[in-house]
Structure 1
């Protein structure tokens, strides 16, 4: 099998890396970026500091801060207007997964036009698009290193997976200092998101030797560091390790694929406005238990990397220990069930068939070790509700 690989052309990784953003932009010959972020980072002053640094480097940025969690086609419209008004030659995604998803979508729409539904999977988008420079502030989505964006169709509530090199950032600036203010809930949710990326990349039907090594490295780091970062947000070593692991996991799944957890997670986010990492966490143990028998060797490798199983454990025993470890991790990180999160049972039950249809339609479940039927997905949704 020939693996088709795509990575950022430039990566600056380490404490203080954000200070080099102007140099990165100048080196790429770019001067008029649209800085896409959110109101929270404006409120903390982080967006203003980044804008000032870009001005100091001789660039001409414009700030767009009206992104929303789980961006929608409607939320892209004012950003697209700002992009054209500014005559932007590039887009900087500054924030968590939502600002970066928005930045990637705007970079494509700004050149190609049309509607995001024109670009959803299974279409592979080759471009053209404006250059995207990604500056993450959370250790989870890995979007700084992926050729993926996710946008919800405002008309249908479908969370659309959009793929291809057109969405690959040309540069990623990964600075752990930007993550130090993450609260515990966000630390937990984004950390489990990164772990899901790594495990699904490893067990995916599209896994390859390049992504395997990155996935296992990320799993090991997250197993050692996530609880530490959750318990003590000022633990700089744990934060830096989680930031690197999230990027590694992002590269892994972008060049392999995600699978059933992500396929089922997106509809939960679209219909019930649950943060992406949290909806992954709600699903992760149950979906792994459903899938583990089909690839016990691969899941056993994940368990050993996570520190949940010994090298002497038989494959099926080690794989079972992974399921137990995921239950334990979600308990330690206080991951709520959909019911505990406040989702109405009647609405959940009524929307389950549609969510199953949308999960299958995304294509991600086809990469799972067990390719589920719609009925099996509905059963999993029912199982995880409470």
Structure 2
């Protein structure tokens, strides 16, 4: 089997890492920046930290701040027009997956205009040219969009999300600065942190997993499991460790794919605007139970990485049970809702949700093949 690994070119880690943005822009000969973010990050003086860095370095930029929590085709179309109008030769994306995903789509279309309809990029995107340079600044410690080759866009007309996978979209520079996550609200911290855990666990058990990515995912599970509770409480060390843990998970899953946790989470966000991390966190336990028999000894390793003691002395059945219990405990401790009905999800929509999940690009990677009926039952198990 041939295993491909693609990573971004340059990453900076640690407090104050955003100061390196100016150096990267100037060393690459870039002249005009499109800063992509959302109004909240500007209002709460998070994205403005990046503005100050560029102001001090006398770098020209214009701000596009119309990003939505689940970015839409309209966001992308408007972003492309904005980028062309301001004649930007690079993008600095400040935010979580929404800002960075929108930036990827815009940057790809700018350099590959034949794909102006972003729907044409769904799946393994057949682009020929590397996207406009992106410097991605993560503010949520969850999506790892700054190091992945994936982005997800919402088609509001069809109530669906679609995944685009393209080596040409990966940011050239990733900035992982814990200072940028300091003001993140506890609920967002919990949701994005659990999303990172799902990335690590699904990436570890997916059909495409192999030794290099296993190493990344197990380390990510270890870091996230020990750090997320503290991060949700606002502890600086917890925030810093989560910034690293989610990045490591991203290096792994970007190269081997995910599974039906993500397939099932995507339509929940598209139909109900459910926060992606919350949807993933709620679905993780039932999907882990569904996949257990198809994962060999892997749940034992996950349990150990999550801090469960004496896993080597357990039967495989016990190890799987302890793995799932550790996931459930972490999810409960950080305040993730337990029932889909709490979020307004209705029984009448389950068939459509399941059909959307079956068509999702993440479904083939699941370690156990799932039928439409089985996915419907998974939704119902936590309704």
> Normalised by the shorter chain, which TM-score bucket?
over 0.9
| 2:242 is equivalent to residue 228 of structure 1 | no
* Contact 1:296–1:319, Cα closer than 8 Å, also in 2: no
Separation in 2 of the partners of 1:311 and 1:125? Answer: 47
The worse-fitting range, judged by mean Cα deviation, of 24-33 and 35-44 is 24-33
1:357 paired residue number: 355
* Residue 121 of structure 1 pairs with residue 119 of structure 2: no
Correspondence for 1:384: 382
8 Å CA contact 2:225, 2:330 repeated in 1: no
1:294 aligned partner = 294
Q: Unaligned stretches of 5+ in structure 1?
A: none
Question: Is it true that 1:341 corresponds to 2:342 in the alignment?
Answer: yes
1:126–1:164 Cα contact (<8 Å) kept: no
Equivalent positions of 1:160-179 (< 5 A) are 160-179=162-181
TM-score normalized by the length of structure 2: 0.96
Contact 2:264/2:354 (CA < 8 Å) preserved in 1? yes
Distance 1:61 1:30 in 2: 11
Instruction: Choose from 193, 196, 199 the match for 1:197.
Output: 199
Closer, same or farther: CA 150–90 of 1 in aligned 2, 3 Å: same
What displacement does 1:384 show? 1.4
Is the CA contact (8 Å cut-off) linking 1:33 and 1:92 kept in structure 2?
Answer: yes
Residue of structure 1 in register with 2:266 after alignment:
266
CA contact (8 A) 1:180 1:239 kept: yes
Q: Establish whether residue 372 from structure 1 lines up as the match of residue 370 from structure 2.
A: yes
Partner of 2:331: 330
Q: Is the 8 A contact 2:112 2:128 kept in 1?
A: no
Cα separation, 2, equivalents of 1:73 and 1:118 = 11
Q: CA deviation at 1:97?
A: 1.0
Asked if residue 44 in structure 1 is aligned to residue 26 in structure 2, the reply is no
* 1:338 shift after superposition: 4.5
Partner in structure 1 of residue 313 of structure 2: 312
Q: Answer with 117-126 or 101-110: which moved more.
A: 117-126
What is the CA deviation profile of residues 248-273 of structure 1, one whole-angstrom value per residue up to 9, with x for unaligned ones? 00111001111110011100010010
The residue matched to 1:133 in structure 2 has which SS?
strand
Question: How many residues are matched?
Answer: 380
The answer to whether the Cα contact below 8 Å between 1:300 and 1:316 also exists between their aligned partners in 2 is no
RMSD value, Cα: 1.5
Structure 1 pair 124–304 and aligned structure 2 pair: CA distance change class (3 A): farther
Query: 1:150 aligned to 2:148?
Result: no
C-alpha distance in 2, partners of 1:319/1:111? Answer: 47
* Distance in structure 2 (CA, Å) of the matches to 1:20 and 1:341: 43
- Partner SS state of residue 350, structure 1: helix
Q: What is the rounded CA distance, in whole Å, between the counterparts of 2:255 and 2:327 in structure 1?
A: 24
Separation in 2, partners of 1:157, 1:90: 31
Tell me the distance in 2 between the aligned counterparts of 1:3 and 1:37: 34
Q: Is the Cα contact below 8 Å between 1:127 and 1:165 reproduced in 2?
A: no
Measured against aligned partners, the alpha-carbon deviations of 1:68-88 in whole angstroms (never above 9, x if no partner) come to 110000122322221001111
| Equivalent pair of 2:274/2:343 in contact (CA under 8 Å) | no
Relative to the length of structure 1, the TM-score reads 0.95
- Cα distance in 2 between the residues matched to 1:338 and 1:319: 22
